[in-house]
Amino acid sequence: MHLSIPKTLSSRPWLLVVLLFGSFVAFWVFFINLAIKNQPQTVPLAPVPGVVTRHAQH
């Protein structure tokens, strides 16, 4: 028996939700990996006199 995709999705609508959620997660994994691989360089900041940072409190 050959089932077409529209017939399968119309008989099991939850499958469309699962597929959409899976593609959403895959997109975010791709996007986060792309952002990690192409992150900008860190810029060292000069300390500002009179401003107490978290690192200076310890």
Q: Please report whether residue 22 resides in a domain.
A: yes
Which residue did the predictor score with more confidence, 43 or 29?
29
Q: Please report whether residue 19 resides in a domain.
A: yes
pLDDT-based confidence at 39, cuts 50/70/90? very high
Confidence (pLDDT) at 49: 85
Q: Please report whether residue 5 resides in a domain.
A: yes
Q: Please report whether residue 55 resides in a domain.
A: no
Q: What is the DSSP string of 2-19?
A: ---HHHHHHH-HHHHHHH
Q: How many CA atoms lie within 13 A of 27 on its CB side?
A: 6
Domain count, the chain: 1
- Check whether 55 has a pLDDT greater than 70: no
- Per-residue pLDDT tens digits for 11-37: 888 999 999 999 999 999 999 999 999
CA distance 16 to 4: 14
Confidence (pLDDT) at 20: 95
Q: Please report whether residue 16 resides in a domain.
A: yes
Tell me which residue has tokens 């959409």.
20
**Domain ranges, residue 19:** 1-32
